[in-house]
Every structure is written in structure tokens, then in C-alpha cells.
Amino acid sequence: MAEARNNAEAAVFSIEKSLKEHGDKISAEEKTAIEDAKKALSDELAKADATAESLKQKMDALTEKAMKLGEAVYKAQQEQSAQNAPEDKKDDGATDADFSEKK
């Protein structure tokens, strides 16, 4: 039970941080769904009679909703790296050559 509680608390913290940093990359509907799932998990954590199974179910629901955020962050990183990629290199006159060493 302690492990389930720790995992759930870590998930809530991680999602809160991700939403603060990258919440603008998803739609308002997706953000609301993630926040609702996070609240459900937080509420379950607050219950004295919460079980490891109930925490796991709420955490799985949160993870499923949070995938949209992960996808949006990944897509934004891909777009940013594409923008930062150097243009085709200009010919600087250097050529690769095979060589062998004589002894």
C-alpha cells in the first residue's frame, strides 16, 4: 500500500509540473480531462480507506489522459529541433579521401 501511495503522489506531482510547463500545448478540453483525473487521484489519496487497487485504477486513468500531454510535448520538441536543424551544408571545398600508410 505504501508503494501504491508513493507512486500515486509522484504521479500527481509530475502531472502538476507538466501541466504548468506544457499545458498550453494541448486543448482546453484535454487539459480539463487531465486535471479532473488528477483531482480524482488526489481525492483517492486523501481517503483513509483507499486501497492499493483503487489508487492504481485512478493512476491508470490519469496516465491515459496524460498521454495527450506527452504527445503534444514530443511534437513540440520535434518541431523545435526541425527549426533549429542547420540548413544544407555549403560546399567548403573539403573532400573525403581514402588513404593508406606506407611503412
pLDDT value of residue 44: 94
pTM listed for this prediction: 0.71
pLDDT value of residue 86: 65
pLDDT value of residue 39: 95
pLDDT value of residue 88: 55
The cell for 97 is 579521401
In order of their start, the domains of the chain are 2-82 (1.20.1270.10)
Low-confidence ranges of the chain (pLDDT < 70): 86-94
pLDDT value of residue 102: 79
